[in-house]
Structures are given as C-alpha cells and as structure tokens.
Structure 1
C-alpha cells in the first residue's frame, strides 16, 4: 500500500527522463537563450536570446532560470537543459497527489497522480524546455494552497496565509507564461469563497488582499524591466520594447483575439495560412470542438468526456457536501471549464502543448469521480464505455499507428459490466488509461519529435514547418533541433575566421528562429535580427549602421522572407545597399546569401 505513490512517481520519472539525452537541444530557441543568459547578469535577468543582449525571448525568464542554473552545474548539454523540466513534471505529480488526498482521499489521489503521469501531452512537454511545465507546477501549487485554505479545522489566520500563498504561486506562473497563469484565477477565487467557513466579510477582505499579492508577485518583473535605468535588451514580441506591452499584446489579447503577431494574420506575406500549418500553429479552428480535433485529440482529450460527465453527474446529484469538499469540485471543475473554454475559442497562436494546463483538473476529476462512481450502480462501466468510445474515434484517425489499442480498450470497457465487483475498478481504470499510456510511452521510448518546437505524442506529423513557412532560407535547409547544416557550418566558420575583433561575429536575418542554431554552435557572438520571427525593431537600422561603422559587426546572413515591412525591411535594405555579397566560392556555400559589411 505504502509503495503505490513511489511507484507512480517512479513511472513519471521514467516517462519524463528516459533517453532525455537523445532529445538534443529541445526547443533550440529557448536553449540558445539559456546559453546567452549564462554570459552576464543583465542577460540572465531579462532572458536575452543572444549574448550581445540585443533582444529577449518572447516570454518572461522564470522557466529559463532553472535551466541556466542546471547548465552552470552540469555544463551546457541538451540533457542538462531538459533535466529541470523532468524534475518539475514529477514534482507536479507528487503535489497533485497531496492536493487531491486532502480533498477526496488517498485512492482518488493515487488515481489522479497516475492520470497526470500518463497524460501524453504532459509527458511530451515535460521532456522539452517550453515554459508550460513550470507553469503547471505553479498552478498545482496554487490549487494545493487553496485546498489547505478551506479545510474545516483551519484558523482564520492560517486560511488567509494559504490564500495569499496561492496568489503568490499564480504570480510566479505569470512570470513564467504571463496571462496564461491568470486564466485559473476565477476557479481559485470561487473555490475559496465556496469552501471557506469564515464570515463573508472576512472572505471578501482576504480575497482582496490576495488580489494585491497576485498583482505584486505578477508584475514586479514587468516593473523592473520597464523601469531599468541602464542598457537592456529589447523585449522580444513587444511593439515598443516594454514588458507591459508584451503582457497586454503578444502574450495577452493577441493570444485570445488574434491581434497582430499573435494570430493567423501574422503569416508572412499576408496570404491565407495553409490548413496544415493552421492545424500545427493554431490547433485547428476555434470552437467547442477544438480540444477534440486531430491536433488535440490524442494529446489531452482521452479522459475529457469522462471528466465532463463526472462534473455533470455531481451537479445533477445536488449532493449535500461539506464546504471543503464542495470547494474541491468548484476548484477542479472551474479550472477545467474556464481553461477549456478559453483554449477552445482563442483566436491567436495556439499550440497543442498548451493543453497540458488541462491535465491537472482532468486528473483530479477522474480520480475523485472514479472513486465516487464505485458507489453508483454501473458508474465505472459507464465511464469506461464513454472513454472507450472516444478512444476508438481518436485511434482510428490514424489506423496505421497502434490501431490495436482501440479494440482492446473497447473489450475492457464492456468487460467492466461482467466482472466481479472487486475487479470492476481495476478493469475500468485500465480501460480509461490504456490508450493515453500507449501515446505517452511512444513519446518516452520512441524517437524524439520531428519538431522540437511543437512537440506532440502519438503518430508524428509529416508536415514540414520549414517548408510551409520559408520556402527559401538563406544558409541551407533549416532545422529546429539545434544542429547546423553543412551550409550553415560553412557560413559560420567563414564569418568567425574573418570577423577579427568584431564584437558580433555574425548577424542572421529571419529572427531568432533562424539564428538559434548559430548561437548554440558558435564560440563567437551571433545575433538574430528582429526577435523570434524577425519582425521586432531590434536592432533598428540606425543601430545596425552604428555597429558596422564602429567595426562591431562584419557579416550578415540574409534570409528572404516575403511580405515583411517596417524595420525588418529597412534593415535588409540597408544591408543590401551598404554591404557586398560574398561569392559562394569563398566559403563553399551554394544556397546562402552572405553579406560582408566591412
């Protein structure tokens, strides 16, 4: 009995860390920043993408700081960058168990922990270095604090402290992925108000105090960045170089409403985004069915129908529950519904791995719901059949990939109606978890994802993101795995050998997405023009001209990208007017356009 939780944690550790060294650099955009942030305090504090401190990544640096510290300890390796992610993923499983145990008991907690450990998109993203892993850990921490705050035997003072701690954790989540952390706030507030036994006046004042802590813990980094008196990198993704603009725009309303660079209208050239790319970049079309579509279905939706049925059943039963137990249903149900609706209708950039934020509430609801269903005639069999029916739909979208899972799950689900009472729970849980377990195992023990920036579990997409977005790329075929192509290596070697004492050995047009490979593989300073996608005004044309005039930069690698205007177009226009194209014969290239600006 006492070894069940350690066994689940060990399973999570294996799924998150097995063969981690084979995953290369993970998301090379963030890994390049990890290397650059190690070069100085300001770069570390702001999350600079390049060692010259020209521009930051498009997120706050919280999730990158542990990765930087890991590389200080173990050296710069792919596995040392990804190791903190695996640790945070296992920690979230443990903390979820502790949270659900307080609310619904040990058996529900163990099942919730197992569900989270076997959620495919969570396994995948916890093996990558995107910020969502740490975000989920902070949000589960907030849920734990709220659960402690509404316990019936807690004093008013202790309840207030736990509520403030929950607000602090959400603030830490904000500094990991900005407004994505605040989506869960309505559920946390509703759970506290529903579960607290303090007088309403105390509940309201406590909630207002928590709002103050939330604002302070969320916005201190934003204020620090925007009030910084000295030189600092341009805030990548913003329109004016401020962190506040990044909060409101690119990482805020743009993600919800599709404004500017956060939506499909940001596709180069203004042309309509191809459907294959839309499915990859946007998670398909917004709407109630988004969480169940081809992009999301195999990643997060396996147990979503069952979780929703459990919520409906609890609401319909109108159970007279103690306040703290009622708060648990409000917390996890509210988290699932609010996050799910926001994700479903978001009109901006939306990737499938964002849905890992739905994994904790789904896991908690399944854990508590299955335990409760044992007391209802045919409760577990009904949940198993619903799950099996949906699993058949998802599995047979790609029948060439592990199609055997569907029939096996269906047989197990039907069997729950006929096995003995003691076996019903075991067979039913197996029916619930077999399909996501196969998808998770494929991520842990199979080959690394073809696209490390947009990882997914299950059958891998054959869509080539590079071919869809950049039919012509200076420097040869682009890879987002952190490896230089032969052509790119020739460009880098030529620039490094001939840039002399220049502070910046090479500047790469096309943004950080093009420059990350060079940053990771160069002993010299390399910068990318224009932030992640190359559209940011960093450096400005005048700054670029100043670099060249002062001998700080000699070589620029061009990367034709249609439809760009503003500073991006001006920079390359200046380069073409003031620099000369290096003949391919000088460095052995064939497809790149390298400029010498001496």
Structure 2
C-alpha cells in the first residue's frame, strides 16, 4: 500500500528517497531474519541484502529508468525472504495447534520460543506458552465423541491451546477455561457450576499440558474451577489424560 502511494511520487526527491529507504530497510530486515537460520539456504541472505541495496539505488534514479523494471525489482527483493519462508512452510509436514512459518530455529519456534539472543537463552525471561496437551489417545477420542450431540460442550479443559487439541481430534466443541493461556477469568466458578448443573458439559479433561493439573499462574477463576472439579468428581485415566465425568459426582 505504501509503495502504491509513493510510486506516483517517485520523480520527487522526497518520494524517491522514501521509496529507496523502504526497499533498503526491507532488505536489511529480511537479511536479519534469514541470519537466524544460517544453515538454511545460506546464500539467500546475502543475495537479498545486496540485491535490495542495488534496487534502492535504482529507485533513487527511478525518474530516469524504466518504471516497470524498477518496480519489479523492488517487489522481487521485498518478497524474496517471505516467499522462501512460504515455500519451506508448504513443503514441510506440520502438525499440532501452533503452525509456524519458515525453517525451525535452534531455540524453538513461534509462540513456544523463549527469549533469545543469537540462539542463547536469556536468564530471567518467562515463557508465556509452554506446550499443549499431547495428542489424545484413540480411547479418549472415542469417549469424548460418544453421546457428544447431547451436550453443548462434550468436554472442558484449561486454555484454548489444550482445547484445540481435543477439538481437532474429535471435531466437537470443547470449552477453553481461562481463554488463550488460562489467565482470563472466564467462565467463573459459579458460571461453570451452572453449566454442569444443566448438564451442558460432559467431561473435564486434565491432559497434562500447560495449566492442566497445575493451575498456578492462571486466573483465580480457573484455579477455583479445577479445585472444585477435583474435589467433587472422580478421576479416571483414559490414555494419558485424567478425565472427570461431570454428570456423576463422587
């Protein structure tokens, strides 16, 4: 969008200078990102940054060069890094609830990566997202899907990261207690108890992922719900998960 706004002004000093700066900064930032994976196509970073700087020089002289040639070169340099990341993402098998773009880096990937400095972990930084529950067993999937149509939520669990694991496996709605990472005060214990009393939730699943079985760090509402479930209902082990039947109090 910015390129489209600036391109008609390429014959002005301010327009040409701004366009050239944008191309140069984009190439430099692409190079910085590509250097985080130095063993993955090591030639690509230098090509992008050198080509970007050459193209930035062409943009400065855009008033005297063929417009289509300059515009095409600028777009190609700007999209070279993202295009390579997209190709790597499409070509590599991915699974799970957090699919990341581009090649894997040594320190992790995406939202599960800790704060890093040139590949080394920095002490004192907190990881917001640890991991989700492991893939549910066939036995657990069958349990959650059985009679699922009779409930608004066949299952509930802590965090949407964990809920997504069960939703993808069972294709049924799963309540995410505490929202994205367990810190939202929704639902409250009173609301959750009302859902249970109305038989709108069948099971609570403690799958061993982030937050499950260890609600510390989550919202007070989530902690109270977990404590109430564990003191009111009986757990049974299904695969690797602890499951509480919310329709059958202990």
Would you say 1:366 and 2:10 are equivalent positions?
Answer: no
Would you say 1:393 and 2:35 are equivalent positions?
Answer: no
- Name 1:439's counterpart in structure 2: 81
- Name 1:128's counterpart in structure 2: none
- Name 2:235's counterpart in structure 1: 581
Matches within 5 A, 1:49-448: 360=1, 362-370=2-10, 372-373=11-12, 380=16, 382=17, 386-387=21-22, 389-397=24-32, 398-399=34-35, 400=38, 402-403=44-45, 404-414=47-57, 421-423=64-66, 425-442=67-84, 444-448=86-90
Displacement after TM superposition at 1:416 (Å): 6.7
Counterpart selection for 2:167 from 519, 531, 534: 519
Asked if structure 1 preserves the Cα contact closer than 8 Å seen for 2:216 and 2:223, the reply is no
Higher fraction of strand: 2
Count of equivalent residues: 215
Displacement after TM superposition at 1:442 (Å): 3.1
Asked if structure 2 preserves the Cα contact closer than 8 Å seen for 1:416 and 1:427, the reply is no
Measure the CA separation in 2 of the matches of 1:569 and 1:552.
20
- Name 2:146's counterpart in structure 1: 497
Distance 1:547 1:408, change over 3 A: closer
Displacement after TM superposition at 1:418 (Å): 8.5
Find the residue that maps to 2:109 and give its secondary structure.
coil
Distance 1:504 1:390, change over 3 A: closer
Measure the CA separation in 2 of the matches of 1:418 and 1:574.
70
Would you say 1:566 and 2:208 are equivalent positions?
Answer: no
- Name 1:465's counterpart in structure 2: 111
Measure the CA separation in 1 of the matches of 2:86 and 2:52.
21
Greater RCO structure (CA 8 Å; 6+ sep): 1
Asked if structure 2 preserves the Cα contact closer than 8 Å seen for 1:530 and 1:536, the reply is yes
Deviations 1:400-429 (A, max 9, x none): 352212222333444678999343x34432
Find the residue that maps to 1:447 and give its secondary structure.
helix
Distance 1:454 1:504, change over 3 A: closer
Distance 1:500 1:407, change over 3 A: closer
Q: TM-score, normalised by structure 2?
A: 0.64
- Name 2:120's counterpart in structure 1: none
Measure the CA separation in 1 of the matches of 2:97 and 2:83.
17
Asked if structure 1 preserves the Cα contact closer than 8 Å seen for 2:167 and 2:174, the reply is yes
Higher fraction of helix: 1
Distance 1:412 1:533, change over 3 A: closer
Find the residue that maps to 1:469 and give its secondary structure.
coil
Measure the CA separation in 1 of the matches of 2:243 and 2:205.
5
